[in-house]
Structure 1
């Protein structure tokens, strides 16, 4: 027998119940190969035949030792037979041919010539090639059905290959053995699976016209093309579902670890860096659930800022989640809803970005998963994850971006994608309007950048995009017309929320690490941000350097240019109206000045624009890592003299790939988020928790806590929730109007008494209170329709007690752990 290491060619013939045709087929192949100068072997794979197929192969092997039989115990299909035969092969090249020799073995010369003269790793026979010679046709119906089936396979699975199912194929031996070892299909679909494997690894496939004759008794029918698609769909679904489920589990685990301190202390845990936002959000969830349970308007309430009330649509109660989660809130409480929204929201956001990147950026799911994880768990998102679910629960944004990208295709389904874009955008209105505004800004920056890089795409994309956006508006506007009208013109509506000229990011904040990053420092980050929930940059210098390197290395790609330009533009805009050059007294005008006083933008904290950088950087990471991984997978140890000369180049490629992956790890490791810290919540005063307030508060009256709750001290909202929302509160933590111009402010419009109590609470001396102060206090209490004034334990409690006693001209009473003054009707 010829030494396997010197074999030029292995011929693999799958056979199932082929006793009638196998003997002449083997003779024809042997005669053709015998006349060549090749060292060859012929492998017959019996796929569990019920006739004499295996006996015929044994007889041939007995006459010629170059013929071998590989027998399967049971019939499992052509794919399984080919996998066995290729695995047993030893040739430098492997020819696959069907037992009916519909393509004559002499056509091997054409395939060999193509493989010798081209940079291809496979040459496949094609009956669909314009130069193919069809000697004997099938029936017209059968031929038409086969042609349609092949076109469908080509469109769905392997674009560019005209005939995937011809059984006559010549492969590089090592690559064939690697591909078939990876294959999973047992049926006809293995041909497509192998071609997909070659394409995925960057191995060129040449399509060669061949002579072909239809053979009577052919086992391949038109229905088999449908089976191929079904097999491929099942394989893809299994592989995708495993990968998707694994990534989803990793995203969920990451979210749970981030909030593990909250989940382990749901009874009294409070996110330490959330300020008063956890109180506010739990109140939003509780009030929405209460409105749903009692069929009240979910867009307005008087439980805060009594009696004026709060325009909930002008705030951020996230009705898109708080309404469907109302049963959870009613059954388990708003703290559970708060924890669920944060944990599952971040998980869903990471998964949504992963799906977007896997579709539009990279074919490698793990690279897309890394990009999705970064987009969801980037430092700005983790900062907002302390307190602002509307800025970290962003799972709808990737869906909106996906629909916009779909609409840019010349063959876009304008009606379907436009309707879905309208529905998705309308739903996002009820999750977070400022996020939608920033996302729209990011999409616009990306679109402009990409259009400059690919003007040919702009010429074909603008029309379907414009039509789709028009359809989306027709769907969007009726759904949001009433809520937005109420928000901007209804009771307690306001025009804008001003944040001053210092809400932009410092340039240094992009290079530093956030307070919650693995290598971050709270004191450093605190100096560069408004507060710990507004650390809107802090990507860190290693990641900025890596993004720069990726951009330079892949600059020729339009996608990279657009992503880089989007990130840079967003970063510059986030610096605000005035850009202070670090370590100098130089102040430059910032481009945000052009938007700062425009409608809608006037309410935006400009530092938040840097959040647009997160998905842009995530896409760059996904693209770069996907290319690194794809390069690694496509490398195989070459054979032959030329292959030995290429070993050094492959080794260098492996080094470069390793360096690249290490660089990604080094850039990301410092900004890995650490679990968010939790403080112990102070207990709710028994006067409120135990319902003692009911004796003093009649319907239509409020509980006035001292001081009146405001954005800096909103514990009273939590007490109100624990009391079953049984009484309203003056003041509170919300956005509402102030003054004749209805400028938006945080909290209620101040009154004399609320200002006095707040000042004393924070250290001001008790003033000399006379009749004018007392009259003002009576007027304010009457305005608030107060039933009882409650002073809970706190700092400066003695000073507050003296102040309230002088204002009301009487001493308080100690009830249920608090001081009270009964001032009701």
Structure 2
């Protein structure tokens, strides 16, 4: 996610006039790019669209379940007047700080009508698809407005920015990181701030955009702000731009003041909840050194690309969702060639813009490598600048490898600028143009995105789908599926999302997939700290482990159930985990040993937990 653009006015190299302001321009290029972007987005997500209820993103079922839960919570939020940034419907009784998670508040409210009509799974697939398409189209409009004259050049850059390998990788379940339309939209209005006598209007709009961006992708907004600062400071220090920057400074500061005030008002409560609310935490539940980019990854190909499909993909990423660079050697060579060519032909104003652009790319490439250099899976002894930043606020919650997403957008802008030069003045010789065309093809065709992989997931049991559960759990009571909801066993959390989307009576669940306190030295962790009972069922589900049940186990289970205030436990006919079906037989045997013989209700095995009655003696 990059912030790279020419300034609104460059005497030696003026910005491109918006096509909408030229009578001779047509809207057809816009429509063509929009259709192509949407078609590519549907292509990438088609596995979900073939069966939204039955298919799940194979490489990240946990995150998909979390976002589907949020979409269901959006309906509950509007229907019950709940807190958008804190809930005890999950991880009962202590709850979850949604402000400290990726709560996508704007999305869950905006798409609540669709969630009610079609379910969280349809809203999830819709947002994911529109995110990818909107990112490409918004970058196209941004490039067309500020940097390039040729629609084809803007389309090339926009489509690359929207469908770069890193964003296709994050299409494995991340509704926040695929929202790549936020940075160019924010940048659009940042670059309007110097316009005289419009600082109030522009500041208001930018403040709203900042609040929206924070609610959808706070980490991405941080990257955007950081890259904006690097670009603008670098460009403003260049000799040709220094005077113009000094003259525009009062207007820009006034606009930024309005932006800060508007965003501060809109974000006052979520920011309080994020940093000081209940169940908040510092840092992240992920190892930052692990989630740093390997320098070799910049030369490799992503798994979900044409090259990866042909067997040329690399395995240098921490996981399939974090392939944030993976540009391939040909594209790296092409990017360097673009740098040299554009520098050689740049006029003074454009030269300053290019220097700012290059600086952003270099800074974010370095940050993406994390605190210690990794070279083709080997961690070297070379310390990098991120080691000095890792404990600073905001940086301590970021995953370094994701800074490479900014590098992807820098490359997209370079491609657009180089293509624009080839298509405009001076017109290169036919031979040179053919060479460039071949270079673009060799670099970009292997990166053509392939659909994200999907797998089967357990169908919603009639016990949940038909509302039969309401006969066994009080309104607001605690009900849990087996195994308890975690990132690796997300069915219970997903099924709760579906009940929230239908409105009416609602139940709570223990555990769940989220980020919360409890990690070492006070940092965050993934999910709740397991108690003996949920850990016992998780081991049975994932490993088929069946252990003898003694009096101590029953006593611990009794205490755990009382802590959660569980009223009923159920086991569905099919249960899926992050790697496919789990050991259901082990779950049933463990539950029967602990709770006694189950009832068969609505297609599930049900154990009712009655207060005051020992639920854990076999045979009750």
CA offsets per residue over residues 74-113 of structure 1, 9 Å max, x none? Answer: xxxxxxxxxxxxxxxxxxxxxxxxxxxxxxxxxxxxxxxx
Indicate whether 1:812 and 2:598 are aligned: yes
Q: Which residue of 1 aligns with 2:184?
A: 398
**Given the alignment, which residue of 716, 736, 756 partners 2:492?**
716
Q: CA deviation at 1:485?
A: 1.0
Indicate whether 1:437 and 2:222 are aligned: yes
Cα distance between partner residues in 1 of 2:310 and 2:259: 44
CA separation of 1:433 and 1:754: change in aligned 2, threshold 3 A: same
Please list every run of 5 or more consecutive structure 1 residues that lacks an aligned counterpart in the other structure: 1-158, 161-198, 201-231, 636-651
Q: CA deviation at 1:746?
A: 1.5
Q: CA deviation at 1:408?
A: 4.5
Cα distance between partner residues in 2 of 1:270 and 1:400: 32
Preserved contact between residue 551 and residue 561 of structure 1 (Cα < 8 Å): no
Q: CA deviation at 1:614?
A: 1.8
**Given the alignment, which residue of 34, 44, 51 partners 1:265?**
51
Cα distance between partner residues in 2 of 1:522 and 1:567: 29
Q: CA deviation at 1:381?
A: 0.5
**Given the alignment, which residue of 281, 289, 293 partners 2:79?**
293
Preserved contact between residue 515 and residue 522 of structure 1 (Cα < 8 Å): no
Paired residues, number: 580
Cα distance between partner residues in 2 of 1:299 and 1:585: 39
CA separation of 1:738 and 1:525: change in aligned 2, threshold 3 A: farther
- Residues 422-571 of structure 1: matches in 2 within 5 Å? 422-454=207-239, 456=242, 457-500=244-287, 501-520=289-308, 525=313, 527-556=315-344, 557-571=351-365
Q: Which residue of 2 aligns with 1:173?
A: none
Cα distance between partner residues in 2 of 1:720 and 1:413: 48
Q: Which residue of 2 aligns with 1:654?
A: 430
TM, length-normalised to structure 2? 0.87
**Given the alignment, which residue of 357, 370, 375 partners 1:576?**
370
Indicate whether 1:738 and 2:518 are aligned: yes
Q: Which residue of 2 aligns with 1:250?
A: 36
Q: Which residue of 1 aligns with 2:578?
A: none
- Residues 189-268 of structure 1: matches in 2 within 5 Å? 236-237=22-23, 239-268=25-54
**Given the alignment, which residue of 757, 764, 788 partners 2:537?**
757
Q: Which residue of 1 aligns with 2:348?
A: none
Moved more, 453-462 or 363-372: 453-462
CA separation of 1:465 and 1:522: change in aligned 2, threshold 3 A: farther
Indicate whether 1:614 and 2:408 are aligned: yes
- Residues 681-700 of structure 1: matches in 2 within 5 Å? 681-700=457-476
RCO comparison, higher one (Cα < 8 Å, 6+) = 2
SS at match of 1:615: helix
SS at match of 1:533: helix
Cα distance between partner residues in 2 of 1:235 and 1:568: 35
Q: CA deviation at 1:624?
A: 0.5
SS at match of 2:508: coil
CA offsets per residue over residues 494-546 of structure 1, 9 Å max, x none? Answer: 22314222110111111111111111259875631121111111111111110
Q: Which residue of 1 aligns with 2:385?
A: 591
Cα distance between partner residues in 2 of 1:670 and 1:591: 32
CA separation of 1:253 and 1:445: change in aligned 2, threshold 3 A: same
Q: CA deviation at 1:675?
A: 2.2
CA separation of 1:301 and 1:237: change in aligned 2, threshold 3 A: farther
Please list every run of 5 or more consecutive structure 2 residues that lacks an aligned counterpart in the other structure: 1-10, 345-350, 576-581, 612-620
CA separation of 1:522 and 1:728: change in aligned 2, threshold 3 A: farther
Preserved contact between residue 316 and residue 376 of structure 2 (Cα < 8 Å): no
Cα distance between partner residues in 1 of 2:325 and 2:352: 25
Cα distance between partner residues in 1 of 2:446 and 2:310: 14
CA offsets per residue over residues 197-250 of structure 1, 9 Å max, x none? Answer: xx99xxxxxxxxxxxxxxxxxxxxxxxxxxxxxxx9998256242221222122
Cα distance between partner residues in 2 of 1:757 and 1:660: 59
**Given the alignment, which residue of 800, 804, 810 partners 2:587?**
800
Cα distance between partner residues in 2 of 1:581 and 1:491: 41
CA separation of 1:394 and 1:822: change in aligned 2, threshold 3 A: same
CA separation of 1:547 and 1:283: change in aligned 2, threshold 3 A: same
CA offsets per residue over residues 98-149 of structure 1, 9 Å max, x none? Answer: xxxxxxxxxxxxxxxxxxxxxxxxxxxxxxxxxxxxxxxxxxxxxxxxxxxx
Q: CA deviation at 1:342?
A: 1.3
- Residues 397-416 of structure 1: matches in 2 within 5 Å? 397-408=183-194, 411=196, 413-416=198-201
Preserved contact between residue 300 and residue 309 of structure 1 (Cα < 8 Å): yes
Q: CA deviation at 1:729?
A: 1.1
CA separation of 1:585 and 1:780: change in aligned 2, threshold 3 A: closer
Q: CA deviation at 1:735?
A: 1.6
Cα distance between partner residues in 2 of 1:522 and 1:696: 52
Cα distance between partner residues in 2 of 1:742 and 1:584: 29
SS at match of 1:707: coil
Larger radius of gyration: 1
Cα distance between partner residues in 2 of 1:740 and 1:387: 27
Q: CA deviation at 1:367?
A: 0.6
- Residues 34-433 of structure 1: matches in 2 within 5 Å? 236-237=22-23, 239-408=25-194, 411=196, 413-433=198-218
CA separation of 1:394 and 1:262: change in aligned 2, threshold 3 A: same
Preserved contact between residue 71 and residue 497 of structure 2 (Cα < 8 Å): no
Preserved contact between residue 20 and residue 27 of structure 2 (Cα < 8 Å): no
RMSD of aligned Cα (Å): 2.8
CA separation of 1:435 and 1:664: change in aligned 2, threshold 3 A: same
Preserved contact between residue 571 and residue 613 of structure 1 (Cα < 8 Å): yes
CA separation of 1:696 and 1:522: change in aligned 2, threshold 3 A: farther
Cα distance between partner residues in 2 of 1:366 and 1:582: 36
Preserved contact between residue 247 and residue 369 of structure 1 (Cα < 8 Å): yes
**Given the alignment, which residue of 549, 557, 580 partners 1:777?**
557
